[in-house]
Each structure stands twice: as structure tokens, then as C-alpha cells.
């Protein structure tokens, strides 16, 4: 093989995700989308069967997620979604308001027309779904995630997106479990109002309004969850 071809092949191998990387992303998606609930125990064998892989990449993915605090691993190597206490949830909510608010402001500055179209598509879909009775909560959770990450991707910063991703790994199970158990929060319309305001601000290239809308969305959801008194002190 010519040297240039060999170097190109090596570079391709470094770029292409490994089986462990793909498994990590699949398991991360379950956490962020709320398909795994706080306190839920995870079977390595069952996850391997679900993802169609051996147990080795699943163990690797679990170890990576445990290092971020998104999972815990007991001495017997059993994995579990951690149960978040109130102080940790409050701390994460404050950090999310700042980080995700900043990401929304950057999206207002940097978005292109294709990114704006994706943001507005997700916002319209979330609004339409929230007006149906009864609401499809599972679908609403997915659309909420799609909208937020469409906004954050439009910020144009891979580093910022990685930070937001890490925050959602930890808080996703709490946020989405709460939404599934309390559909009235969706019907109250605060999230719809905040999402509309964020999309308009990003269209108008108004960073301050975009930041405020996303920060309010996060703060209102956090206040509702804290008011349910289900998080241990």
C-alpha cells in the first residue's frame, strides 16, 4: 500500500467511531431522552442484546458514563442510574441556566438559515403536540430534546455542545421522568411559551432574548420539579 494511502487509512480509522463509541452514544441517548429512570438498574447482558454487541463495549460505555457521574457502578459491577438529591439538582439547574442560556445566545449570533429552519420545525412540532389532549408525553420528551439540541448545535461550538451534552446526561432522567409523570406541566404552556420566545429571538438574531428564554425554560422546569418534593434532601 502506498504511503499516502496508508496514512489516509490510519486517519480514517482515527475518525470513525469504534464499537465502544457507538455503544456509548446509544446508551447516552437512553439517558438524555429519559428512557432510563433514576434508580433503575442496568443489566450489561440485556444492554448488549439490545444494542447487538458483546458485553465488552457495553462495559466500556458504562465505565465512561460512570466517570461523568451519569451512572454509578457497584462493587459487584452492577450499573444504576443515580438518584439525584435536591442540592445536586439545584446546582445543575443553576449551571444549565448559564451554560445553555449562553449557547442559545451564541445560536442567535451564529445560526445559518438551515439551522434556523430546523429550530423552527422542532418548535412548531412541540407546540402542536402540546395542544393535543391527551398529549403524547413520550413524543413530547423527544421533541423537547430535539429543539434544545438544535438550538445548541446552532451555536457553532463543538466544545460548548460537549459541555451541554454532559449536563443532559446527568439531568435528563430526572427532567424526562418528571414530564412523563406530570403531563400537566406540558399543558400549562410555560415550555411552549419559552420555546416560541427562543425561536423568535434566534430568528431575530437577538442574543439577550434567546438567553433569557432558554434560562426561563430551565428555571421554570426546575421549580416545578423541586415543588413536587420527590428529590431526596
- For residue 55, what is the domain's CATH number? 1.10.10.10
Q: Give CA separation, 19 vs 25, 58, 66, 229, in Å.
A: 10, 9, 18, 40
Lowest mean pLDDT among 57-66, 80-89, 178-187, 188-197: 178-187
91 C-beta neighbours (distance < 10 Å), count: 12
Together in a domain, 100 and 191: yes
pLDDT(1) > 50: no
Domain tally for the chain?
A: 2
Here the cell at position 143 is 421533541
Residues 109 and 73 in one domain: no
7-33: pLDDT as tens digits: 444 444 444 568 889 999 999 999 988
Q: Domain range holding 21?
A: 3-80
Domain end position, chosen among 56, 80, 104: 80
| Same-domain check for residues 102 and 165 | yes
* CATH classification at residue 222: 1.20.120.530
Residue 8 located in a structural domain: yes
**Cell 406530570, located at residue:** 182
Q: How far apart are CA 171 and CA 64, in angstroms?
A: 17
Q: Rounded to two decimals, what is the model's pTM?
A: 0.85
Amino acid at each position: 500500500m502506498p504511503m499516502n494511502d496508508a496514512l489516509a487509512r490510519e486517519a480514517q480509522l482515527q475518525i470513525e467511531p469504534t464499537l465502544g463509541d457507538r455503544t456509548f452514544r446509544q446508551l447516552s441517548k437512553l439517558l438524555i431522552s429519559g428512557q432510563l429512570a433514576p434508580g433503575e438498574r442496568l443489566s450489561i447482558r440485556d444492554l448488549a442484546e439490545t444494542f447487538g454487541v458483546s458485553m465488552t463495549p457495553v462495559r466500556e460505555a458504562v465505565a465512561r458514563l460512570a466517570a461523568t457521574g451519569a451512572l454509578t457502578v457497584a462493587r459487584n459491577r452492577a450499573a444504576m442510574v443515580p438518584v439525584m438529591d435536591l442540592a445536586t439538582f439545584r446546582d445543575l439547574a443553576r449551571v444549565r441556566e448559564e451554560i445553555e442560556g449562553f449557547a442559545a445566545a451564541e445560536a442567535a449570533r451564529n445560526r445559518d438559515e438551515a439551522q434556523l429552519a430546523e429550530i423552527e420545525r422542532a418548535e412548531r412540532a412541540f407546540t402542536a403536540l402540546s395542544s393535543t389532549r391527551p398529549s403524547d408525553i413520550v413524543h413530547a420528551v423527544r421533541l423537547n430534546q430535539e429543539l434544545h439540541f438544535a438550538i445548541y448545535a446552532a451555536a457553532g461550538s463543538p466544545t460548548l455542545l460537549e459541555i451541554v451534552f454532559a449536563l443532559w446526561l446527568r439531568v435528563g432522567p430526572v427532567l424526562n421522568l418528571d414530564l412523563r409523570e406530570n403531563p400537566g406541566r406540558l399543558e400549562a404552556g410555560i415550555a411552549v411559551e419559552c420555546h416560541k420566545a427562543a425561536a423568535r429571538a434566534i430568528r431575530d438574531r437577538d442574543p439577550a432574548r434567546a438567553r433569557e428564554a432558554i434560562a426561563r425554560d430551565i428555571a421554570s422546569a426546575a421549580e416545578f420539579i423541586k415543588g413536587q418534593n420527590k428529590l431526596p434532601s
